[in-house]
Amino acid sequence: MTICTPRTDLPFVSLFNRAAFHALNAAPGDAILALPYDEGGRTVGVLSGVLHEGAFTAGFSSPCSGPDFARPRETPAHVEAAIDHWLAELGGLRAERLTFRCPPASWSPTGALVQFGLLNRGFTVAEADLNHAVDLSRFPTADAYLAALRSPARRALRHALGAPFAFAEHQDLTTGYALVHANRRDRGRALSLSREYFERVRDALPAAVRCFVLEHEGAPCAAALVMVVAADRWYVQAWGDAGHRLERSPMNLLAFRVIERALAEGVRVLDLGRTTEPGGPPLRVSHGLAQFKQSILATAELRPVLVR
């Protein structure tokens, strides 16, 4: 494995673009790249990814990713110049196939500019996934979020808030992972990532994985495994409830407690991940999941994969 990463330690580089994250899944012989673009004496942005047998992937081994820019709102001129620079560099590295697993628009104001630039430089849409995220910048406090819920969701949440639930973050992933794993098993599905993988991510990148557990009368009933993509951006890698006999699902309360914690820590975007059924093509919307996410004020957005 070749690691060419002069700039992945810069503070604006997000989790899914760090060399230590790529190295968790890169194979022997792969090149882990971090390609900076500098202008006017400063680093404008960094494109990171893995080059495997002539194929470069941005967003390698992650749900999605793309170039990180030092300024949250970079100018279109700088974004286009950076794209041209990176494509030329990748050409020089003999990357014959380029794949950008683009993040949804909520991740960064530059996301649409990057997609525009790629689509107008010969990239095509190989896949278009549906994603949901909660824009937490709309809510100054957890009370403001609660007040913004529609009345059915607000009533259900207020009912749960009056019940004997307890919410806590666990340093040990055992309980949280077991709950999410059981949730998938009960639905006839498999959890794509092992507990050992989450632990390897946390070992390689401390504070990258957060595990939140909800208990009812002392018994664990729901959990969320969260990736801290950036200081202001969390990605819910997996969550679910299992092993309880409650009349109502505790997921509304779990979502509220995670949102409450995220707001307290200054998170701007809580990404709830894809909202499509396993399998495909074609990908199909998971209607029940989409309805739940929308009920907790998540907005649907596209997560395209662009290829040239």
DSSP 8-state symbol, 286: -
Give the pLDDT score at 3.
59
CATH number at 277 reads: 3.40.630.30
Of 33, 28, 1, nearest in space to 17 by CA: 33
Judge if 149 and 295 occupy the same domain.
yes
Tokens of 200: 């390897």
pLDDT at 5: 56
| 144 and 117 co-located in one domain | no
Residue 203, in any domain of the structure:
yes
Residue 171, pLDDT score: 96
Of 64, 90, 122, at which residue does a domain stop? 122
Q: What is the pLDDT of residue 186?
A: 93
The answer to the question of residue 286 being in a domain is yes
Residue 60 main-chain phi, psi, to 5 deg: -60, 135
**Residue whose token pair is 């919410």:** 167
Measure CA of the first residue to CA of the last residue in the chain; give whole Å: 24
Q: 73 in a domain, yes or no?
A: yes
Please tell me the predicted confidence (pLDDT) of residue 267. 98
φ/ψ of 140, rounded to 5, equals -70, -25
Whether 182 is covered by a domain: the verdict is yes
Task: Tokens for 101, please give them.
Answer: 């697993």
Q: Rg (Cα) of the chain, in Å, rounded?
A: 20
pLDDT at 265: 97
101 and 182 assigned to the same domain: no
Q: Are residues 139 and 76 in the same domain?
A: no
Q: Name the residue range of residue 96's domain.
A: 2-122
Domain stops at, among 122, 142, 167: 122
How far apart (Å, rounded) are the C-alpha atoms in residues 235 and 258?
A: 11
Phi-psi region of 258 (alpha: psi -120 to 50; beta: other; left: phi over 0): alpha
User: Same structural domain for residues 201 and 282?
Assistant: yes
Same domain for 160 and 17, yes or no, is: no
Last residue of a domain, one of 93, 122, 151: 122
**Domain-embedded: residue 306:** no
- Asked whether residue 308 is assigned to any structural domain, the reply reads no
Residue 305 domain-assigned (yes or no): no
| Same domain (yes/no): 111, 252 | no
Nearest 5°: CA angle at 76, between 47 and 93?
30
Same domain, 144 and 94: no
Same domain? For 210 and 290 the reply is yes
- Position 278 scores a pLDDT of 84
Same domain, 112 and 249: no
For every one of its 308 residues, what pLDDT tens digit does the chain have, with 9 covering 90 and above?
565 655 667 889 999 999 899 999 999 999 999 999 999 999 999 999 999 999 999 999 999 999 999 998 999 999 999 999 999 999 999 999 999 999 999 999 999 999 999 999 999 999 999 999 999 999 999 999 999 999 988 988 988 999 999 999 999 999 999 999 999 999 998 898 999 999 999 999 999 999 999 999 999 999 999 999 999 999 999 999 999 999 899 999 999 999 999 999 999 999 999 999 988 789 999 999 999 999 999 999 999 999 99
d(C-alpha 158, C-alpha 105), whole Å? 32
The structural domain count of the chain equals 2
Whether residue 220 sits in one domain with residue 153? yes
CB-side neighbour CA atoms (13 Å) of 287: 0
Among 172, 219, 231, 224, CA closest to 199:
172
> Does the residue 16 lie in any domain?
yes
| Cα separation, 15 vs 119, whole angstroms | 25
Question: Do residues 142 and 244 both lie within one domain?
Answer: yes
Angstrom CA distances, 172 to 30, 40, 176, 196, 216, stand at 32, 46, 8, 12, 19
Strand 97-101, strand 269-274: pairing: unpaired
